[in-house]
Amino acid sequence: MSRREAEVLALLGAHLSNAEIAAHLHLSVRTVENHVSSLLRKCGVADRRELGRLAGPGSAEPGGITGLPAPLTTFIGRDAERERLLELLRAVRLVTLVGPGGVGKTRLATKVARAAQGSFSPGGAFVDLVPVGEAYVAQAVAAALGVTEHPDQHLQEAIAEWLGDRRTLLILDNCEHVIDAVARFAEQTLSRCPGTRILATSRERLGVPGEHAFALLPFPLTSATVAPVPLTSHAELLFLDRATAADPGFTADPATLALLCSRLDGMPLAIELAAARVAALGADGLLTALDDHLRLLAGGRGADERHRSLRAVIGWSHELLDKEERALFRRLAVFAGPFDLDAVVAVAPGTARSAAADVLGRLADKNLVTVYRRSSAARWKLLETVRAYAAERLDTAGEAEAARELHLEWAAGVATALEAKLETAPDGWTTGSWQDDFDTVADNLRAALARAPDGPGDAPHRLARALGHLMYARRFLVEALGHYETAARRAPAPLQAVADLRAAADCTYAIGDAGQQPFGMLLEAAGRAREAGDGDLTAITLASAVSTACRHHAGFEEEAPYARMVELLAEARAAGDPANPEVAAHLAAAAAWLANEDPAPKTAVPAAAGGDWADPAPVTAAVEAAQATGDPLLVSAALDSATFAALKEGRRRHACRVTGERLALLETLPRHIPAAGPEIVDIFRMALYGFLSVGDLPAALKVARQAMDDDLVGGSYLAAAQLITPLVLTGRFDEALTLDTAVWEGWQRAGRPFGAQLSAPVGALSLAHGLRGDDDAAQLWRSRALNPPDRQRYGHFMAFADARLALHHGRFDKVAELVEGALIGRSTSATAPYREAVAAELAMAAELPGAADRLAATSPGENEWAAACLARARGRLYQDNGQLHTALAIWERIGARFERACTLLLLPGRADEGIRELAELGCVPPKT
């Protein structure tokens, strides 16, 4: 289960209602309901009462090793090896269990993982890498841990953040075919996550520094020449156990058993395959058959011979199959992972379901097919050693190409069916059986696409497009982008490529690479639409490119020239029919953004009523055109142009109201499709920016918490960072400081450059420490905030923090420099009112020349925090208690506890109340 589900389960154990859990974890009630539904399914219980009992006193801790294979047979022997591996895991961070195929590495690793669970209370995951391709090792681990990607945080980073420094165990099983990718993953993970241990199984060591390789050998053998004695050899005990399961009446003398196991080189898989035949041949017949078959082998004994002997036993088992069994057996080689009966029938045309089920059962009885269980559905799989042999048989029979084509068609059908399942449950898309079903077949779908013939084609195109959608919904965002790009290349027709390229462009926003990349994709898509002769789609796509270039400057290495955008919009207008509402909406949106970008824009004019300001005509036209379509995505994008226009003119309250309209659209946006990604990401970003810009701290804190829990933008160190600024401004220093280590270490693990998204939170942490009198910590975070080379871009909040700390502590030695520094930057930015207001109060407190004039000239800029700060400054300057009471009322309204306490100190008879309040916040009293 995921970490969030574990938290929900623990609170269910404390008998909290869904509403109480939602409040405790800062989630929506609907999100809690989804988590409870997922827990009911995963834990296999009927109701929340049973879930509560699972989490109650004496029950197992949530966590544990997820994905451990359920043993279907008894585990025999390996006691010494198990204890040694447990000992190594206590001392070594990377242990690789090395041995030939069929020696029992997976079974032993599973046994060790079960025994070690108590030492890894946060849990971990068992990851079967057999069906996994070179590029998808991180996805396999993430799926097992319940980790997904978020904007500006790729999957390896998300995994590292989830693991953190907790003591967690990862079992990476069957690494040999993806050994380079596993080695990279292991090295990166261990370097970033000091509490993580990795147990890998492979036919060769990973070659990572610090690795301890533990060789697993076949079972030791009893000499066949000694007199019969009671069974002590683990090889013989294993043979007897499996033979008795196949034939309850089986008996054999110890000498015969010893000879059989000797012929099989003590290899557990060879022993199990041979034992499955005793019902038909008996011990003596089995020995004779083995002697005849193994006589064909050349070469000496030893490790290489074990591979040959195992191959010989598989080949011998294959020869004993009847024609029907052989035909189906080799067809199963196309499956990279587990498969169900429908899949089997799909790759074996002409085979009835009943016949396929019967043959599968017979192959399972002979240990050539193993049963695989996930959730409640029964599936089958081939062990990798067996599958490799089956693949050779498929090639020899000349059926490989036809079988792979059938597998591709099956995969495309399964993927589109999963899409339909996803689409029919929009309210529960983040949970539900579609995810379990998808995780089970994902590696098979990837393998089918990777093996598809080059060039355009209907089946590979359908599969790639469906995988893009499914991976996006599963929140494997980078992979989703890659599949959509593949779909565009594989598209049989230009219009199909247009849809794929547009989806790929939308994916980039969820990844965090908005700007240049989607702009180029949209221009390519427009060219394909023009090639297909679809004028309306050409217009829509060109207009989208213009809007993208104007909305996302930061994503461009060099800003797109304004004249070029004007030309593109003219091309769009010439291509499309403005009577088409969708075309009209996109054209109007692009025109609105171009109006915002105009080097000589017209200023907005006062509205006829209400004293507010009206949006410029292009912006109004864009909003009206979008509303006419009824598409919430188009409405949100148009409203964003209105927000930008308002902020550019300093109309913060108007911009905030428009942002509130966008927030109200969130519930209507289809979150499982890439097209919604750009708007979801931008709505949260602009809402936090807008509420902070007007000083509405409760609303800013609420939206930051909402974003933290959002499935797309939340859950990462960046989402946690966005909580810090409103927490500090509202005086919630304890909560803000609990996030500092997680945010900073998350940023370090990610290896990301310092950007605007961290400048305010890091500056706020310096402010919080400084207000509490911890100058060392304040200086540490200040140095971090001012570390980027572009101080003009990233130092604005720190300039406010420096001025506020100087005011609080009465440090006036550099006051002129601090005041001027606080005034650097755009006056329309979100931080400007805070900086300008505190600069005015600081100048007044330090008695700088012209301080009174500066105070009189400073506007609150439609910001409540700034209005309160300026009122307090006037109250102090003119000894005006009315102004101080005005400031106090505003601080209370916006929840700024620290500033309220500082203001109380200035009011007659209320100083003691202010001191008590500051003490509760852990802050030292001000000196001014």
- Stretches where the chain sits below pLDDT 70 are 1-4, 14-17, 19-20, 22-31, 34, 41-50, 52-63, 222-232, 292-309, 373-377, 425-433, 513-514, 554-555, 557, 599-614, 750-756, 788-795, 928
**Residue 300: its pLDDT value, please?**
36
Residues 6+ away with beta carbon under 8 Å from 767: 728, 778, 800, 801, 804, 805
Q: What is the pLDDT of residue 825?
A: 75
pLDDT digit string (tens) for 302-319?
444 445 667 778 888 888
Structure token pair of residue 868: 């309160």
Alpha-carbon Rg for the chain, nearest whole angstrom, is 33
Give the pLDDT of residue 42. Answer: 62
Can you give the pLDDT at residue 146?
A: 85
Q: Quote the mean pLDDT of the chain.
A: 87
Element (H, E) at 698: helix 697-708
Distances (CA, A) of 50 to 2, 39, 488, 732: 19, 11, 48, 37
Q: Which residue has the tokens 């399942």?
A: 421
> How far is 729 from 725, CA to CA, in rounded Å?
6
Q: Give the strand order in the sheet containing 94-98.
A: 65-66, 124-128, 168-173, 196-202, 94-98, 211-215
List, in sequence order, every residue forming a beta bridge with 73; answer none if it has no partner.
none
H/E segment holding residue 201: strand 196-202
Residue 706 to residue 667: CA distance in whole angstroms: 12
Taking CA 118 as the corner, what is the angle to CA 117 and CA 119, rounded to the nearest 5 degrees? 90
- Quick one: how many helices (H) and strands (E) in the chain? 46, 8
885 with 695: CB under 8 angstroms?
no
- What's the CA gap between 699 and 704, in Å, rounded? 9
Local structure of 225: helix, strand or coil:
coil
Report the relative pairing of strands 377-381 and 370-374 from DSSP bridges: antiparallel
For position 228, what pLDDT does the model report? 46
Mind listing the pLDDT tens digit for each residue in 188-220? 999 989 999 999 999 999 999 999 999 999 898
Tell me what pLDDT residue 457 has.
Answer: 96
Side-chain-side CA neighbours of residue 139 (13 Å): 21
- Given this model, what pLDDT does residue 403 score? 96
